[in-house]
Structure 1
Amino acid sequence: MITPEEMTPREAWHRYLDGRRTELTEETASTYHYRLKLFAEWCEDNAIETVSELDGWTLDQYESHRSGQDVASTTLHNEMETIKTFIEYLERIEAVEEGLTERVNVPHVPRDERSRETKLSTEQALELIRHYRSDDTLRGCRRHALLETAWHTGARLGGLRALDLRDDDRDEQTIEFVHRPESETGLKNKHEGERVVALNEHVCKTISTYIQRHRYDKHDEHGRQPLLSSMQGRPQPDTVRIWMYLATFPCVSAACPHGYDPEACEFSSYSTSSQCPSSRAPHHVRTGSITWHCDRGVPREVTSERVNASQDVIDEYYDKSQKRERMEKRRRAHIDKLGIN
């Protein structure tokens, strides 16, 4: 039996993630897996055979390596934050020298750069939704149902994937997000992420049309009926991500803004859909949705409950209103109180 310090970086990475599986959602575990995989592969390329060889200089070299690959500042910040948590684990099991965690540099990212600027714009979202609703061949298709549900609820990818047929209540005009980790659809914030979200009549009609005309009547391996189903049952996260890329192609509702011929476009396939300059992932739709909620004057506390995000997080990361728009929203509600007779 090997000792902790004799583990290779790859062995340690797998052991670390295996120990955290019960507390991480599938999507978060996948993100950590990718970040630590990059680190382990770099260690192998640089002849670092055991974790006991890791030191402050090694970690600094890795940070420089990733920085030199022209990754975004937020990406580097998040990757080094994951490395720091990993090293903290190694220190706890006495696989590395004490105090190594403190030598991991997590680069500071200014607040304005931390804010995620990429989003599905309100203009593009509403144009797409109106087109889906008006087109007899597209109305209620899976892409339409996915986009409209995501736009009106601001849900995360994991939440959309976790929805069951039973979670849609047509009579009450609501959709419910439920944490079900025992059958592999845990929510990001676990039971704190559970909520019932009210829908308007148009959204309910879209979901009903999808269920009646386009939904695959399938069960997943746990016997549950996913709302957004594939021919195999419940889709994997990457599949939902691709569906959203395809749903947000601008050429669905208008001419391609980039001058491509939709019939021959190289981005139109499943494998290349993410490369379209205007297609958007579920997180970008969530960002745009939350901004739309804020711009429409939905109270912050209501938006917070609907999308399962704190008001502070909404202000910092998601509300993309311009400074003047924010000032106008504040002013309109209170300006009459400031009059002088």
Structure 2
Amino acid sequence: MPLKQTPPEDAKNRYLKDKKHSVTRKTLYNYDTTLAQFCEWLDDRNIADLRDLDSDHLQQFRESRLSDVATITARNDMVTVRGFIEFCETIQAVPRGLSELVRIPKTDESDEICDDLLTREESKKILEHLGKFEYASDRHVIFLILWKTGMRLSGLRALDVSDFDEVRPALEIRHRPETGTPLKKKAKGERDVLIEKDDGRVVADYIENARPAVADGYGREPLIATDHGRRARTTIQRMVYTATRPCHYENACPFDEEPETCEAATWNGASQCPGSVSPHALRRGYVTAARNAGQPKDVTGERVNMSGRVLSKHYDKGTHDEKAERRRSHLRDI
């Protein structure tokens, strides 16, 4: 069967449209980002028709990614490219079997594990600062919920005002893909997360005094809101980056930078600070702190919606000494 003339960008758009209803919006965004890089790379080499694509080009792109990014990132990129090429085979844009020639970089366990986390001591300082100077603000409530519950960013964004039960108090996380807030594990990610009464009071004060009286495009009242509706992921990420900069909560820079000239001291540049962390580092820090405090692995896993294997491998960053201390109360002299 003859191949059809297909520009890479056209094939990319068809692939994303095909995937739109079977993956989360975040995953679709990741696909789009990776394939945009791939299409740009092809354009730089004057490949305007996928019929001209061959296995050597795929190998060159693989080598290019390995030289520019971490091995685990290159691996994820090539997995995405392979899926794209498989789709291109079905629309007769590339020869059958080309996807089998996409070589996926191998990674070892150390490549797959990220050690970026916020410690309990750091989080206490940040919460003290926010509680004193930014009480019940957007940034205070966002940081408080992410640290005290270990929930994913998608879980935080999915919360509506009605999902906050002030009596227990608790946050009720629900999967609502039809109205714009899917959970990573879909219905399996649904759960109620209990919080302390003092933390519940902060959330209640935020709703009462700081949260805009607004609904989103589906008529829902998002808990974390702007004047225009549900707060965007990128803005939440920046709020965490700004809150975790040491100069923000300690009024001093451990990296000897001057706030007036430091690029990381700006709203958009906060992620460049060596001391700031992403929302996921709070999730990792919560798991580690909870385990060090004696919270059982299964309880912690159910609370953050995570399997025991993933928790142990990727999230529990306790030191050898801390893990030994956790076992102390279970030891018997035999």
TM over 0.5: yes
Q: Give 1:79's aligned amino acid.
A: D
Tell me what 1:40 maps to: 39
- Aligned partners of 1:164, 1:278: CA distance in 2, in Å? 31
Q: Give 2:102's aligned amino acid.
A: V
Deviation (angstroms), 1:231: 2.1
- Aligned partners of 1:139, 1:117: CA distance in 2, in Å? 30
Q: Give 1:324's aligned amino acid.
A: D
Percentage identity across paired residues of the two chains: 36
- Aligned partners of 1:251, 1:202: CA distance in 2, in Å? 26
1:242 aligns with 2:238: yes
Q: Which of 313, 316, 321 is matched with 1:319 structurally? A: 316
Q: Which of 176, 193, 196 is matched with 1:197 structurally? A: 193
- Aligned partners of 2:64, 2:244: CA distance in 1, in Å? 34
- Aligned partners of 1:256, 1:212: CA distance in 2, in Å? 35
Summarize deviations over 1:169-199 as a string: whole Å, max 9, x none: 1102110111111111111111111111111
Q: CA RMSD in A?
A: 1.8
Deviation (angstroms), 1:4: 6.9
Q: Give 2:34's aligned amino acid.
A: R
Tell me what 1:225 maps to: 221
Tell me what 2:108 maps to: 110
Alignment of structure 1 residues 268-283 onto 2, 5 Å: 268-283=265-280
Structure 2 runs not aligned, ≥5 long: none
Q: Which of 76, 79, 91 is matched with 2:77 structurally? A: 79
1:301 aligns with 2:280: no
- Aligned partners of 1:4, 1:325: CA distance in 2, in Å? 60
Summarize deviations over 1:140-179 as a string: whole Å, max 9, x none: 1111110010011111122111211111111021101111
The structure-2 alpha-carbon separation of the partners of 1:324 and 1:85, relative to structure 1 and needing over 3 Å to count, comes to farther
- Aligned partners of 2:75, 2:276: CA distance in 1, in Å? 25
Alignment of structure 1 residues 102-251 onto 2, 5 Å: 102-133=100-131, 135=132, 137-251=133-247
Between 40-49 and 4-13, report the one with greater CA deviation: 4-13
Summarize deviations over 1:244-266 as a string: whole Å, max 9, x none: 21222222321222233446643
Structure 1 runs not aligned, ≥5 long: none
Provide the aligned length of Structure 1 versus Structure 2: 332
- State the secondary structure of the residue aligned to 1:197: strand
The structure-2 alpha-carbon separation of the partners of 1:230 and 1:306, relative to structure 1 and needing over 3 Å to count, comes to same
- State the secondary structure of the residue aligned to 2:193: strand
Q: Give 1:57's aligned amino acid.
A: D
Tell me what 1:253 maps to: 249
Contact 2:237–2:279 at 8 Å: present in 1 too?
A: yes
The structure-2 alpha-carbon separation of the partners of 1:72 and 1:9, relative to structure 1 and needing over 3 Å to count, comes to same
Q: TM-score, normalised by structure 1?
A: 0.92
- Aligned partners of 2:233, 2:309: CA distance in 1, in Å? 27
- State the secondary structure of the residue aligned to 2:121: helix
- State the secondary structure of the residue aligned to 1:175: strand
- State the secondary structure of the residue aligned to 1:246: helix
Alignment of structure 1 residues 17-36 onto 2, 5 Å: 17-36=16-35
- Aligned partners of 1:217, 1:298: CA distance in 2, in Å? 37
Q: Give 2:284's aligned amino acid.
A: T
1:291 aligns with 2:288: yes
- Aligned partners of 2:58, 2:317: CA distance in 1, in Å? 35
